Amino acid sequence: MNRQIGIDFAMTTSAICVRDTDKQPDFIRFNGESYTPTVILEKGTVTNKKGEEVAHDEAYGWEAQKATSFHGLLKDNFKIKLLSEEKKERQEAESLTRKFFKYLYESYKNGMTDMKGTKPEKVTTVVTYPVKFPKAVQNFLKQAAEEAGFENVIMKSESEAAMRYVQTHETEKTRNFTKQHAGKQLKVLLEDMGGGTSDSAVFKYNTEDPEKLEVLGFYPKGGELNFGGSEIDGILCEFYKQKIGSHIVKILGQGDEVLGEKVLRNMVKKHKEEVLSPELQANQTAGVPMGLAGFVYMLSDPNCADIDRTVFEELLKEYLPQFPKLVNGALEDAGIRGEEIDLVLLSGGHSQWYFVKEMLLKETKLAVKEDAILSFPKPHLVVAEGAALMEKKAPAKTISGDPMPTPPKQRMLAWVKKNGKYGLIDQDGNMVTACEWDGIHLDDIKSGAIRVEKNGKWGLIDKNGKQIIPCQWYRIFEFSDGLAKVSGNEGYGFINSAGNLVIPCRYTEAHDFSDGLARVSGGYINTSGKLVIPGKWIRNDDFHEGLAAVCKHWYSHSYDFIDKTGKTVLTTKGFSPDSSGFCNGFVRGEPIGVESSYTTFRNRKGEEISSYGFDFARDFCDGLAMVCNDDRWNYLKENGKLLTSRWWEKLGEFHEGLAYAQSDNENGYIDKTGQLVISGTGLWSNGRAFHEGLAYVRKNGKYGFINMKGEVVVPFILDNVYGGFYNGLAAVSKNGKWGYIDKNGNEVIPCEWDDASPFVKVD
């Protein structure tokens, strides 16, 4: 039995979750609670109002917070000061952090003392951190946890932990999400809204390879925007003092105004979380905190301090607009449009406010629907539990097989990662460029350029690792039609694969080229930068298969599809097309002006091809489109008929003529008639797409490969696989490290890297 410990060392509260392999996750208790305030009361003395010296020993968490009369010795919000540029502040924060981790370790040991069971063979500790924390701070947190006594400490971002929670937490929403987006690469926005600060992060998540998470951007970068619950506490305290009278501070502190402020703030914080937030969520009016009720009773207007949504929003009129800035700042840092976000995750206790979802839907650049915003019953515990649920790596067996084959003649490249930096290797395992980059992107290598990142800027190198242009742009996007969008000081422009700026950075909004045209502020331009289709629309999409959807007025309930001359060739009434546009002759979309939305398809004549409506659907590919109803999956044919009468619980996309399917007690691969031609029932599960005649499947927590006869050709000894076989090699993980195997299972490039990508052909 192994044990994994998840630690969320947060600004205002911290939590420890423990997961043993034979048990459900459970939280360490702090004074009966599953979390503890991140507060330290330093040892010292204070003078009371009688002039007596009163001593207090060092205390932590709830015990520290209860000692209100020793407010001068309380230390809180020290986590954010780990980022301080002031050396003295940073050193104090580091000292307090070390102390607090020792307190967490002692709490963990005491919490496990009374638990009966087998002693774990191995203990792994996962400590989480905000994505804005640089590597140096991450390393310090790891060191502090190890010094405190935690074993085998690894660091994971809060984004990774929250995503792991979504994968494993059994709620209707998360089950629906996992099933509807199976096999898809998603862009996810995480809003971690704590009491001290709120952090916004955008990351790329591949549902086929859950452990691969790429952070695209985050905001704020430092402490310049502290959109936390404590900000609301301060505003509410001032409101109650104004309505009731500032004398309440002195009374609450028994003459000590500093103590009174502390008592009032704690009172308001508790009232805010337990009464005010739920009441406003239900659109009700909330009274004053219980401890202030006696003061209000004496007023001529005892209802003057009641708060409804109107009062609340007036109080926070300068505070609330910061929330869209938080979201939009992360999108801008990631260099993506709001409509590219597939999912929004809300964690942290502050995320339960009614205004969060409303503002996400109405006042940010996002274009998600409400059902794509996931929140959780105990949001302040999401990160710790997600960290405890990170998959543990078990020792792998040695792969045996034939001698190493002769490397393919075709030159190939892949990126590898070590010590937080990326480099390039060829198929012989030779380093093409050292692990010196913050990111390497091989998506568009056929353009002749490879995008790289260093120190927050982007540049280009060639296939030999030679610099084409230095890292000088805020962002370089993927090449399309020979050009790549870049972000500079003046806006967006486009460069070619030689790194030359061929279209100046003059646009406030720009999108990648598609079908030879790119959307920019003011219309569509060609690859020469000429505005060929001017226009202003409330929505206009990229060109796909020669057409782009545009809309001038929401109230019209119609969209026009224009061709590359700007001429309208199709108008759809009562139908909102998906931004992905036409794909293989069909466009997905939803009806406009109906009570319950559903997804349907239309052809290039604007005709609806099926009488069915679906909860979710994907584009047509090879004559079939994946569709979902009531958490069950099927395929739709181009004639509007379903492939089969059977609906599957899980269904993959067709690759090489087969698709993985799973339902109830049966699983395997179906052909394009819907027949199960490879059965994995009782043998293996979680099959992925076939690539080069092989697919990886899972058994007892390990991965192996099968061929198209269902025969196991690589045994179940792999911890993870990245995508499958590409160009004769597969990126695999063993014992926590990545390398490459051939189709016989031979380890042709040793598993020694922290991460690795599939190989791509260079020429």
Reported as a single tens digit per residue, the pLDDT across 322-381 is 888 888 988 998 888 888 898 888 877 777 787 888 888 888 899 888 878 887 767 778
Reported as a single tens digit per residue, the pLDDT across 2-53 is 899 999 998 888 999 999 876 778 889 888 788 898 989 888 776 665 667 7
Residue 620 in contact with residue 586, Cβ under 8 Å?
A: yes
pLDDT grade, residue 392 (50/70/90)?
A: very low
Per-residue confidence (pLDDT) for residue 55, from 0 to 100:
78
Q: Order across the sheet with 467-473: list the strands.
A: 439-441, 450-454, 457-461, 467-473
Close Cβ partners of 231 (under 8 Å, ≥ 6 residues apart):
319
Per-residue confidence (pLDDT) for residue 395, from 0 to 100:
33
* DSSP per residue, 12-42: SEEEEEEEETTS--EEPPBTTBSSEE-EEE-
Burial class (CB in 10 A: 0-12, 13-18, 19+), 546: middle
CA distance 459 to 346: 33
pLDDT grade, residue 611 (50/70/90)?
A: confident
379, 383, 386, 392: CA torsion to nearest 10: -170
How many CA atoms are closer than 13 Å to the CA of 351, on its beta-carbon side?
24
Per-residue confidence (pLDDT) for residue 491, from 0 to 100:
92
Q: How far apart are the first and last CA of the chain?
A: 49
Average pLDDT of the chain is 86
How far is C-alpha 521 from the chain's CA centre? 29
Residue 343 in contact with residue 371, Cβ under 8 Å?
A: no
Tokens 């409804």: give the residue.
308
What is the pLDDT averaged over residues 193-214? 74
Close Cβ partners of 405 (under 8 Å, ≥ 6 residues apart):
742, 744, 746, 748
Beta carbons within 10 angstroms of residue 278's beta carbon: 13
What is the pLDDT averaged over residues 497-509? 93
Burial class (CB in 10 A: 0-12, 13-18, 19+), 598: middle
Among 192, 177, 187, which Cα is nearest to 384's? 192
> What architecture does CATH give domain 2-38+78-227+321-388?
2-Layer Sandwich (3.30)
Q: Of residues 325 and 494, which shows the higher confidence score?
A: 494
Strands 343-347, 373-374: pairing kind = parallel
CA distance 417 to 435: 7
Per-residue confidence (pLDDT) for residue 403, from 0 to 100:
41
Domain extents in the chain = 2-38+78-227+321-388, 229-315, 393-425+683-763, 437-536, 545-607
Please state the pTM of the whole predicted model: 0.49
CA distance 174 to 518: 36
Per-residue confidence (pLDDT) for residue 568, from 0 to 100:
95
**Strand-pair partners of 414:** 425
Close Cβ partners of 635 (under 8 Å, ≥ 6 residues apart):
624, 625, 626, 627, 642, 643, 644, 651, 659, 674
CA distance 585 to 605: 10
Per-residue confidence (pLDDT) for residue 47, from 0 to 100:
67
Total length of the chain: 763
Helices marked H in 344-494 — which ranges? 354-362, 382-388
Tokens 């070590």: give the residue.
418
Residue 752 in contact with residue 239, Cβ under 8 Å?
A: no
Helix axes 322-334, 354-362, angle to 10 degrees: 50
Report in angstroms the alpha-carbon separations of 533 from 492, 505, 564, 568, 631: 18, 19, 8, 12, 42
Residue 396: left (phi > 0), alpha (psi -120 to 50), or beta? beta
Reported as a single tens digit per residue, the pLDDT across 550-587 is 998 877 788 999 999 999 999 998 899 999 999 999 99
pLDDT grade, residue 211 (50/70/90)?
A: low
* DSSP per residue, 488-520: ETTEEEEE-TT--EEEEEEESSB---BTTBEEE
Is the CATH code 2.40.128 the one for domain 437-536? yes
For the chain, what percent of residues have pLDDT higher than 70? 90
Among 34, 10, 453, 364, which Cα is nearest to 199's? 10
Reported as a single tens digit per residue, the pLDDT across 53-79 is 777 788 898 888 777 656 677 888 888
Beta carbons within 10 angstroms of residue 505's beta carbon: 19
Among 266, 263, 257, which Cα is nearest to 229's? 266
Amino acid identity, residue 222? G
| Phi and psi at residue 715, to the nearest 5° | -65, 165
Per-residue confidence (pLDDT) for residue 597, from 0 to 100:
75
